[in-house]
Structure 1
Amino acid sequence: MNYHIYKSVKNTNEKIKFINSNYNQNLSNLALFAQHQTHGRGRGNNLWISKKGDFTSSFLFNKKLELSKLGQINILVVDRLIKLLEEKIVDVSFEFKWPNDIYFNEMKLAGILIETTIQKQEINSLIIGVGINFISCPKFEDKNTVRLRDFSQNISPLNLFFSLSLILEEYFDNFQNHDFSKLSKGLTLKILKKDKIIKLKQNNQITNGKLIKVDEFGALVLQTANGYEYFTYGETL
């Protein structure tokens, strides 16, 4: 893993993509941390709002994987980030909002953005952007937020970055050996609004259904008027 630390970047995913294209002839795995990200972005057209001192990072893996594994990549990253946070902060349990946001008591703490390079129906490389509200609580009309500093004063953003980079590299090196059935069952216990009626937005269409679980492929399973339906992408409202 090659590490890149910056005081400020415009966008960590774009910066690590640039480094990989121009300076990474050996196709090493890359990890990038910025003390300040000025133009963060989330899924779709969403912005990621952060201040200097928040956790903004990206990880790039030059690894070939089947395109069908994208959902498993997502739940693996979510699972490892939650477990790392719970190891660092004792007696606190975090939740996740499908597909890839981390919450505490229905307040958003962190978000994950995964981007891939695809050729011939195969993933050639993937970028994992991770943002954590470390010192700030951004204000939104439709959600409340929480910051990591409220749980502990003893966690360093940079130390958390190094811990996460080592964990992700180890898990992607052994990607094929993971028990995703067991992993998905554990995440189902932590998913927000389990067994409740939710709305899922997909391609500007809204589906109402009871949230049942996350399956071993990373899909969200809803019980709707049509029976059990499986969603591999979308946004839970």
Structure 2
Amino acid sequence: MDAPVVGLTTYRQHAAWGVWRTTADLLPTEYAASVEAAGGVPLLLPPVATPGAASRVVARIDALVVAGGADVDPSRYGAEPHPRTAGWQPERDAWELALLAAADDADLPVLGICRGMQLMAVHGGGTLDQHTPDLVGHETHSPGGDAYGTVAVATTEGSRLAGLVGPEVEVSCHHHQSVATHPGFEAVAHAADGTLEAMEAPGERWCLAVQWHPETRVEIGLMAGLVAAARLRAGRTAS
């Protein structure tokens, strides 16, 4: 069977390369590389405002990854901004929420990463803790700058996640926010400080989200699971 196509949402922001200094649609290479390593074909999905675009895109891909990035607009979950909440991008929020809605309608496999997990919770009617250090008393989950925090995570026995990565896993984190409530999802992993580190939808559909960045490590389990689910769905759709 042909390799399944995995859509990856992207940033849209000012960037610099070569002689250019301009707004760009971009994503760290590790995302696409991890999809390819797992046997999928990565396809970048920059924000689009055209009505109906999300449904058309979802009809043409076999799985969706909602990538990391800026904070989610607090108004999306009925909150005022915390002093440390900044940089939200309404056009990206709108695009990714539309993709998630279309993915729900199509029963598409979905993986949320960091911000992606937070947006999936908000899409389901949940809320976020806007500054996790206020709750846990330390900055381990996001040490600052471009440094990732190293966090030990315990998964829930019998969960889809545990089947992919095992009962415990050391992960790379870069988040100052975290999921507070998550209607429609089950909590399936926590850090020692109690921070929710993963959630998944119950039932047969492959719909999972992690607060960490699996693309930054040789952690093929999650992407392999997503690509396997995408391949299975593509086979059913083609038959």
Query: Normalised by the size of structure 1, how large is the TM-score?
Result: 0.31
Which structure ranks higher in relative contact order (CA pairs < 8 Å, sequence separation ≥ 6)? 2
